[in-house]
Amino acid sequence: MKNNFDQFSKWAKQTKNPASRISEKKAVVYTRVSSKEQFDTNLSLDWQRKAIEEYATRTGFEIVDYFGGVYESAKTDGRKEFQRMLDSARRNKNVTHILVYLLDRFSRTGGGAIKLAKELREKYGITIVAVTQPIDTSNPGGVFQQNIQFLFSEYDNQLRRQRAMAGIKEKLQRGIWCVKPPMGYDIVYSKNGLGDERSKGERKIIVNETGRKLRKAFEWKAKGMKNEEILSRLQSVGVKIYKQKLSMIFSNPFYCGIISNKILNGELVEGIHEKLIPQETFLKANNVRAEAKGKYGILHKKHQEDVPLKVFMKCESCQEGYTGYIVKSKNLWYYKCRKKGCCNNKNAELVNGDFVEYLTDYAIAPHLVQPFMEMLKTELSKLDAGRADEEKALRANLAEVQKKIDSIEEEFYISKTMPAETYRKFHSKFSDEKAQILKNIEQAVTTCSNQDELIQRAMQISMKLPSLWASGDINQKENLQKLVFPDGVTYDRKNGAFRTEKVNEVFRCIAAMNSVSGQNKTGQNGIETNLSSLVGTTRFELATTRPPDVCATGLRYVPIKGGQR
């Protein structure tokens, strides 16, 4: 007896089979090329679209939309236009096919392409058709054939990549950076009027306007400036980058002329591109970063305002920098030596107070301002005269280096007797020498136009030095303390005393003058007592005769023991 299931038909299930929709033949079109050069100079995109449209007309396809028409590499399936096409096809219930010129125009990811094609077939009922390689994928044999073609496309891609990587490695080993340069550089081609842009002459990597601003960032970092302040300064001149990007820039030796790439497997090569900074500046900036023991050098806590001397101040016992911590139960900040086992720590408020007192030694007394300014003007005039002689010698060196550059250019371009590799080597060397000389000339050029203004400003800072530091924010404090003590200070916890080996010359002279005139009230003598010859002149006080019962030691008179002379 035959079962009658008509009443149960609404519960019957069917397999979603692409073949069941094949008669609808509604398709989207996807075209692409792999590179910008192909996009700009090749007619391939127009040819692909024309061939697809002719196939659609011949086989009865209705084209509902077009995608692509751009340059996108098929090494991955994360392409913007490719994903837009897939999203549209999946949403549109009427789309049954994706038409491409060749299967490798769809994808070259091999297994990834196979998986994607299977998902489109089984989940959405969408078939991929290459109009120059039509395959019936409604049966296992056709699916297998299409999968083989996807795998061959990936294999071809891998072969191309292997050849390209070998060529890239060979160029990198010769010092030629052949991929996109980092931020701050442009690629330019010398013009000789032949062929397309890439054949118009030698390819060069040069520093651009952004690079010149990044050069200042390296110099600031080498002087110990925090990344937070550097980012703020860069933003003020139009360079907006995030903190991780700045750290990556500081870590890239490309900027000092050294090529480092994974392809070289640990080998470093001197590049022929223009250097942004000297190698010494790069090393100094990264030494500062290493000493900070932080990846980015950014202040993350507002309470760092309470410990402005951390890192800058070193422990007297072990010469390690101090760090800061807070005792939450007391809401008090402390400085602590970073060396394990060294128990030097002290209340931050007391240490900061000691530092303000220490700065009074370097604050000029009001009655010494005018004679000190006169002395500075005299010495700056002498310095300017010395700079003029230095500039003259530098310009003579510059002329010699320019002669060398002209000579090798003549041998390479005109007489053609110098090999290209030799030319690049010596041209890079002489160009570096020329750049360094020009930099030295710039530093040596006399700049007297704002001399009085600078001296006035220096005096204003010095007169209010302790109060300026005490009332300033974290950046102002750090800038002031580094201005006065470029190499930092050491702190003796037991005696509450600061010492330093290097003091800014102007402030050193101020401290010496204060000491002579009796202005030093702190009793902390980390200052040298011998006044320089610049200070010991009759401009500051009249010469006096030595009393018969004293002898001179440095700047002071002391009694003669036993009345001896």
Short-list 266, 227, 279, 270, CA closest to 248 = 227
Residue type, 491: Y
Percent helix, strand and coil across the chain, each rounded to 5?
Answer: 50, 15, 35
Mean pLDDT of 370-390: 72
Q: Which of 449-458, 476-485, 509-518, 552-561 has the highest mean pLDDT?
A: 476-485
Q: How far is CA 305 from the centre of its chain?
A: 27
C-beta separation of 278 from 256 below 8 A: yes
Distance (Å, rounded) from C-alpha 172 to C-alpha 191? Answer: 24
Q: What does the buried/exposed string (b/e) look like for 274-293 if buried means 16 or more CB atoms within 10 Å of the residue's CB?
A: bbbbbeebbebbbebbeebe
CA distances from 181 to 76, 176, 235, 247 (A): 23, 11, 22, 17
CA atoms within 13 A on the CB side of 390: 16
Token pair 């030799």 is found at 422
Summarize pLDDT for 21-72 with one digit per residue, the tens.
555 789 999 988 876 655 555 557 888 889 999 999 999 999 999 998 877 7
CA angle at residue 256 from 250 to 260, to 5 degrees? 80
Mode of pairing for the β-strands spanning 26-33 and 97-100: parallel
pLDDT above 60 for 529 = no
Please name the residue ranges forming H helices in 174-317: 209-222, 227-236, 243-250, 279-292
Summarize pLDDT for 239-286 with one digit per residue, the tens.
989 888 999 999 999 999 999 988 888 888 999 999 999 999 999 999
Summarize pLDDT for 538-548 with one digit per residue, the tens.
333 333 334 44
pLDDT above 50 for 197 = no
pLDDT on residue 517: 62
pLDDT on residue 452: 66
pLDDT above 90 for 212 = yes
Residue type, 160: R
pLDDT on residue 527: 39
Token pair 């294999």 is found at 155
Strand pairing partners for 327? 332
Residue type, 156: D
Model-level pTM? 0.42
Strand pairing partners for 70? 32
* Cβ-based neighbour number of residue 500 at 10 Å: 17
C-beta separation of 310 from 324 below 8 A: yes
Short-list 89, 164, 176, CA closest to 124 = 89
Helix (H, G, I), strand (E, B) or coil at 268: strand
Judged by average pLDDT, the poorest of 19-28, 79-88, 104-113, 443-452 is 443-452
Mean pLDDT of 105-120: 85
CA distances from 16 to 28, 62, 123, 126 (A): 20, 22, 8, 11
pLDDT averaged over every residue in the chain: 78
